Amino acid sequence: MTQSPLFLTPVFQERIWGGTSLRDQFNYEISSDLTGECWAISAHPNGQSIIASGEHAGKTLGQLWEENRDIFGGMEGSKFPLLTKILDANNDLSVQVHPDDAYADANENGELGKTECWYIIDCKEGADMIYGHTASSKEELVKMVENGEWNSLLRRVKIKPGDFFYVPSGTIHALCEGTLVLETQQSSDTTYRVYDYNRKDDKGEKRELHLEKAIEVSTVPHVDREAQPAVAQLKNVTITTFVEEKYFTVYKWEVNGQATFSKDQPFLICSVIDGEGKLVHQGETHTLSKGAHFILPAGVDEFEIDGSCSLIVSHI
């Protein structure tokens, strides 16, 4: 099987909390100063990445999943399983929670649940995020929400660049102002808003909350799921394994020089978050620059990366 790396063209989503960091830090062409999300590697119908070059150029990732399953090692499943985003939280995101697979399938027209994780690319000094809550029972959670006791209900965690957070379904959470994040998640777009700071949209209306569903799916009491990174130093590359869970495994590769890799997964999802270099496979050379996103398909077993660059890499 002869295959080449698949580079993808992202899709950008305007958000009330977005900004310009996707342009300022990654040189993406964005059409709005409220661009909040780069759907970098996505086959979700709400925003599909496009294959940028090669024999499959112009196809959506969803098309490729349906029509060329051999590219993904014959993996089963009706939906491409993962979605990689870069989020520019120029302002606070709504406080939210996501359902698991069973709840989403039953209540959201067969949608997948949404377990996700965040790598903090950059953030302002002193930044924090909301991760979890203090309620000890569903009854207490309902009471604190109804009384608007947000400061005592919501747990805030300090963050810094390079931090990693695992966010299982059922976790009440929110990114906060001044944060740039790479998110790896199940391929789902189901979010239940718990609190939105009483903001109004461009029509002067408050955004919808989803309190009944949110309370149903929230994990109570909150359970911290701290990542325990494992670091391996190989020739010219440091590989940090952040998480190995049911839905995804996520790594950071920090390359400094020429590094050789062997792939033992059906496919790898890769995003260059810093630096530049080149990817070499079977005599073909592909330029890697900050903001590039690509998939290493089933036919790519061994390859080299040469340069000085950092990548976030995932697989199921």
Distance (Å, whole) CA 21 – CA 274: 14
The single-letter code of the amino acid at 140 is: E
Distance (Å, whole) CA 148 – CA 222: 19
Query: Is 193 part of the annotated catalytic residue set?
Result: yes
Q: Can you read off the two tokens belonging to residue 204?
A: 């002067």
Q: Can you read off the two tokens belonging to residue 202?
A: 């461009």
CB count in 10 Å sphere of residue 244:
12
What distance lies between CA 30 and its chain's CA centroid? 19
In sequence order, the 6+-apart residues with CB closer than 8 A to the CB of 13 are 35, 36, 37, 38, 39, 47
Query: Are the beta carbons of 258 and 306 closer than 8 angstroms?
Result: yes
Q: Can you read off the two tokens belonging to residue 72?
A: 């993904």
Distance (Å, whole) CA 117 – CA 167: 5
Pick the catalytic residue: 155, 193, 207, 225?
193
Distance (Å, whole) CA 316 – CA 301: 17
Distance (Å, whole) CA 135 – CA 143: 9
In sequence order, the 6+-apart residues with CB closer than 8 A to the CB of 117 are 164, 165, 166, 167, 183, 184, 185, 227, 242, 243, 248, 250
Active site residues: 193
